[in-house]
Structure 1
Amino acid sequence: MSILKIAVQKNGRLSEKSLQLLNECGIKLSNGERRLKAASPNFPVEILFLRDDDIPQYVEEGVADAGILGENEVWEKSKNITVIKQLGFASCKLSLAIPKEALYTGLEYFNNKKVATSYPRILNNFFTENKLNVAIETISGSVEIAPAIGLADAIFDIVSTGSTLQINGLKEVEVVTKSQAVLISNQNLDAEKQQILDKLLFRIQSVKNAAENKYILLNAPNESIAKISAILPGMKSPTVLPLAEPGWSSIHSVIREDTFWDIIDQLKGLGAEGILVTNVEKMIL
């Protein structure tokens, strides 16, 4: 039986989120120590723990069949792999930052300056598109200290909260692009491995659907059922059950997380009471 080998980052926040996603997909892993790889006893996958910047190459070469990593690494390595799905976690910005005392006048500020980064390909493409002459200093790790030690005039790096920039006397001035975790795959999977990947994608989508929706239960006067049903269509239509009290019903449905508060206000305006909202563990459409 074929085993789908999936590469994930060996440590860090993205690694933890990747393993959490697999766990939510019902995939158990047998190796808690995460030395090099972990097999699943209940799903035909094997997890390889690698450096995130090595994952695109290993997937391209078929050492791993698939991988979970940041889009930024996919762009930077530019390997012949397929991006299967954006996963919605590990979101960050890749930004340009300069010393906080410097006066920023726009992108032309960087013309004829030196910028330090761990992502030279992404940065070079950006400056080329904007027709700027910039010297790129490629370094790995501790990019933020480059201006302070005279190595560069500015930096280009991942920014999450911005606190690291502040500590190093820098300020963010341009967001070049935004990144999130993605699932990638080798371009030449055989039929059996592709079938396993498709099953995994089905589970991931079910988890993603659940995260984006809430289950809602409420009591409402019968004369409001039609209007409430129009607001809460759910996956097909809401479930309506009569209550013991005449003239009232219980309505069950699904509501999107991003419209939650606006819809709650509308429901209250239609006389809804006893509104309960709970998380959805899995959602299969």
Structure 2
Amino acid sequence: MSTETLKIAVQKSGRLFEESLKILKDCGISIDNGRDQLKVRARNFPLEIMYLRNGDIPQYLKDGVADIGIIGENLLVEKGGDLEILQKLGFSKCRVSLAVPKGTEFKGLSDLEGKKIATSYPNTVNEFLEENGITADLHMISGSVEIAPNIGLADAIVDIVSSGSTLFKNNLKEVHTLIKSEAVLAGSPVMGDAQRLLVQKLLFRLESVLQAREARYVLLNAPNEKIDAIIKVLPGMRSPTVLPLAEQGWSSLHTVIQKEKFWEIIDELKSLGAEGILVCPIEKMVL
């Protein structure tokens, strides 16, 4: 195998699988295979995709079997040690949280002293307890952690939480967040120089895709006498493009803004005379 191939580990099943392949494809990388093979080469980029169990990816990175990997930040904290985060990817956002039965009064972290805590994240929880000077009895569970309080195995749990619906169904309430997490691209500490150059090329593509996901292309029409006022409220990239319309005294303004900013300024734009406002998604954005 060529030494100029970049090996990336992705989850072979689970919540990160689909989004991991999607972001690679959005980077222009053609992948023919899905879940059927454990290893496949991309057709148009020197990338080899390895489909692995999620919990195995950190060790593959440490050992240099994989050069980079897409994993949850929570798993990186639990098993990754000093593995480097090369890029946060913005999907599969969740948190590792402490939860207790709904009927339990919880005044603060000191209530955990001497209690039994069930979790799939023992390293994360132990570090958290040490930082807060708490002594508790940890029960390691690899499966359905949320049932532990219901069967008398634990007084509280620490587990991954997305919507909170699983906690609700098991009569639990979330009382404290230990860490916030999202999918990240992590790098191997023993990656070769040739692979690091390829990583830089991939990161350039990823950054272009991620920037585009958070931005929107905005077009609007406005009377010429209102253009200066409208430009002042547009939180866009440098100066917007202004083009004259066929109708005398009117122009079209084109700009890029962060998608969450649009709704903050829409009413102000309309009050300043903006009409025909069009908001479009952006596929790629290179700054």
So what's the TM-score if we normalise by structure 2?
Answer: 0.96
CA distance in 2, matches of 1:34, 1:197: 26
Shifted more, 96-105 versus 155-164: the winner is: 96-105
Partner residue of 1:50 out of 43, 49, 52: 52
Kept in 2, the 8 Å contact 1:34–1:49? The answer is no
Does residue 36 (structure 1) correspond to residue 38 (structure 2)? The answer is yes
Please name the residue that 1:91 is paired with: 93
Partner residue of 1:103 out of 102, 105, 125: 105
CA distance in 2, matches of 1:131, 1:169: 28
Does residue 120 (structure 1) correspond to residue 122 (structure 2)? The answer is yes
RMSD over aligned CA atoms reads 1.3
CA distance in 1, matches of 2:189, 2:209: 25
CA distance in 2, matches of 1:79, 1:126: 15
Amino acid at match of 2:271: G
Amino acid at match of 1:151: L
Kept in 2, the 8 Å contact 1:60–1:79? The answer is no
Kept in 2, the 8 Å contact 1:60–1:80? The answer is no
Shifted more, 171-180 versus 112-121: the winner is: 171-180
Kept in 2, the 8 Å contact 1:39–1:45? The answer is yes
Report the CA distance shift for 1:37/1:102 in structure 2 as closer, same or farther (over 3 A): same
Kept in 2, the 8 Å contact 1:112–1:134? The answer is yes
Partner residue of 1:129 out of 107, 127, 131: 131
Kept in 1, the 8 Å contact 2:235–2:261? The answer is no
Unaligned runs of 5+ in 1: none
Please name the residue that 1:261 is paired with: 263
CA distance in 2, matches of 1:78, 1:253: 41
Please name the residue that 2:65 is paired with: 63
CA distance in 1, matches of 2:27, 2:166: 34
Report the CA distance shift for 1:87/1:33 in structure 2 as closer, same or farther (over 3 A): closer
Please name the residue that 2:252 is paired with: 250
SS at match of 1:13: coil
CA distance in 1, matches of 2:205, 2:102: 46
Please name the residue that 2:230 is paired with: 228
Partner residue of 1:82 out of 76, 79, 84: 84
Please name the residue that 1:146 is paired with: 148
Kept in 2, the 8 Å contact 1:104–1:173? The answer is yes
CA distance in 2, matches of 1:186, 1:3: 14
Report the identity percentage.
55
CA distance in 2, matches of 1:50, 1:32: 13
Kept in 1, the 8 Å contact 2:216–2:259? The answer is yes
CA distance in 1, matches of 2:47, 2:194: 12
Amino acid at match of 2:184: V
Amino acid at match of 1:104: F
CA distance in 2, matches of 1:160, 1:32: 25
Per-residue deviation, 1:234: 3.2
Please name the residue that 1:218 is paired with: 220
Per-residue deviation, 1:112: 0.3
Per-residue deviation, 1:229: 2.2
**Cα deviations across residues 203-255 of structure 1 (Å, max 9, x unaligned)?**
11111111111001111111112222233363332111111111111111111
So what's the TM-score if we normalise by structure 1?
Answer: 0.96
CA distance in 2, matches of 1:76, 1:89: 19
- Residues matched between the structures, number: 285
Unaligned runs of 5+ in 2: none
